[in-house]
Each structure stands twice: as C-alpha cells, then as structure tokens.
Structure 1
Amino acid sequence: MTSPIEPTDPPTVPEYPQLGDPSFNTKAYTFGSSMAAIVAWIAGAVSNAWNNALAAFEAAAAAVAAAVSASTAASQAVAAANFKGEWPSMTGPLNKPACVKENGRFWMLLNNLADVTTSQPGVSADWTALNVGQVSARISANTSAVAGVFYIATTPGITLTYAGGSWTADDATGGRNASGGGCFINWGAYTVSGETPEAPMSWPNRGRFNAVYDGSTFA
C-alpha cells in the first residue's frame, strides 16, 4: 500500500526588484536564478499530492474491504445462531428467534407461528429478509445476480445480469469492479432510479455501486 509523504517547506522566493531600484540587475538576477529550485519544488508538490491522493484511495478501498468482510461475518453469525433449516421441509410451530432459507434467501422470523407451513417467507409479513450486511462473492465469468450479494468482478469484460422476476422489495445488491478493465451490468427489464439504463451498462474499472429494489425500481 502507498504511504503518504509529508510535504516539504517551500523555498524562499527572493525579492523581485521595482523599476528604478539601484540594485535592480543584481536582485533580478538573484530572483531569476531561484526559479529553477522553485519550479522543482512545485513539481515535487504536485507529485506529492498525487501520491497522497493515491494513498488515501487505497486506504479507503482497504476500509471498504474490511467493512464487507465484517458485514459478511456478522450475517453468517446471525444466521448460524438461529438457523432452523430449509422452510419447505419444516412443519409445526416455530418461535422467534429463527432463521430459515427459502428461494435462495435467508429470512428472519418476526412473529411466533403456530404452523410454519401457513407462513411462507417472501409472501407473509411474518418474515423479513436477513440483510445484516451483504455476503461478498468474487466473479470471473458472466453471472446472474441474486439478492443480498456484493459482487467483486475480477476478470475484465464480464457481465453481471439482473434477471426478471427474481427480486422483491427491500432486496439489496451491489458490486465493485476490481478487474483492472471494463465490465458490464445488464439490468434486464428493471429500471434504475426509475430510468431505463443502457443495455448493457458500462461498469468501469474501480466502479462501485449499491442498490436496493423498492418493488418497482433499483435505487
């Protein structure tokens, strides 16, 4: 990781003489002779600013990666502590706290159930999607997105596709292009902030996005 560099003090700029100064020639020569050092300092300051901006960017990227890892660990801990199994295979009563899996998603129970078979996750208000952060997944080939996953593209030119009919309100998604080149996002029939995006949408290197489906559009 790039280390920040502390800037140096600028060189002293000699006096620029006024016309009519009896020492004009000497002072003007001294002033002109100092320009090489001043220009060199300015060039160094520009390089230093670029280096420090790069260091700040890398530190921010590292912080994001750490946050994603922590979020993933939190999701896994919550699910593991209260996971009861696949919803279609369950019968009988089910009480809080409980987590089940249905249609590829994990769901948290909000209300005690006398019969779990009468309350389907994603349909009944007894359940809410378990969105304690997002699980991350590195992708190196064309991929169909699923809810709750933060995608990290590692190969240039691949496409992340949002298939129709598989998203419900409050489903979260996101991604970061770490491939070193351009990738693409295909939103299919979905809109983004109510607008129809280009198909496919360009996903530039280092480009990052987070979106939540509100039931009609990603925003």
Structure 2
Amino acid sequence: MTNLASMVERVTETRLPTAYGPFRAVGYLDAHGHEQVALVYGEVAGTTALTRLHSECLTGDVFASTRCDCGDQFAAAMRAVVAEGAGVVLYLRGHEGRGIGLLAKLEAMRLQEGGLDTVEANLALGLPVDARDYDVAAEILRDLGVAEVRLLSNNPEKLDSLRRNGIVVKERVPILIAPNDDNLPYLRTKRERLDHLLPHLA
C-alpha cells in the first residue's frame, strides 16, 4: 500500500450545477502540481459509492473527438451517478494521452494515421504505453469519506490500483460505449493489448 499522507491537499469546494444535475465540485492540489477535481453527487461518505476515475482527455471530453470513447464514457458516468442518487466522478488531470501529455498524444495520433496502433505509437515516440497511476484518486476518495466503491470501469488496472491503496472495490460496473468506425481500432487495441474488458466489440 502506497503512503499517500501528503499526496493531495483539499483546496476548495463549491456547488456545480450541470446538464446532468447539481454536483459538488471539490478541488485538490496533488504533489505533482496537478489540479484535481472530484464531482460529488449526493451523500457519499460512509457509503459504497458508485465511482468513476476519469482520465482527462481534451480531444474527447471537450472537442468531442470520435477517435476515442472518452467523452461518451464521461457523460455516461455522470448520468449513472445521478441515476444512482449518489456517487463520485473523479476527473484526473495529468492523464492526457495515458499520461504522455497533449502534444505527444497528438503526435501519436499522427503516427496512428500511418498504421500504428496506440501502443505502437507511444513506443515509437520513446514514451510509456501507459504512464498513469491512481494513487491520488485513492487519497481523494479517502478524503471524501469513501472507503468502498462500485467502480465504473473497463480497466482492470484501476481496480488493482485502488485495492493496492486500501480502497475496497465491491463491484466493477461496466461502462460500454458503442463503437464507431473511427474508434473501433482504438477500442480493439485497448482490449487486445491493454486487457480492457470490452466484450461488446465485434
């Protein structure tokens, strides 16, 4: 279990009305200098909270790129938490492009246009396949009073990381997005090379 005692500092909190419903935005600063935010719906302290660890993706979340499923996953998670009546969506900064950063991700996309998959493109740039970790996420959950979760995820590494950091994962809740022509190769790479649980793919 990682020592998380000084990894995050709670900085601020405010009401955040959204198209999905009214959330509470709790802002943190982590030890890497990243500004993190937990979007909290309802009362979650002491519960087995429906939870999403969402890695930031400017191209998908903001620009609505169809090359990935990130924006659709974020929207689905927000809707699911509201439907549940309570839950947490952690928006994790510093995770762009599986942790390689925005400009490197755009360069990797250019290499994919030449036939490489997402794993091969990162490696061709001399970068890690996946540089993310979820230690900060575990500490934020603990700060919110959440020690047990039902995790909205297809990524086994998220489950394993939370468990290593002392968060009990009671259930994995799939978050499956219908593929399109642009993102099907990306999703197949996640399934076949990164062990994501995507049984719905053709």
Give the TM-score normalised by the residue count of structure 2.
0.28
Structure with higher RCO (Cα < 8 A, 6+ apart): 2
In terms of fraction of residues, the more helix-rich structure is: 2
Give the TM-score normalised by the residue count of structure 1.
0.27
Structure with the greater alpha carbon radius of gyration: 1
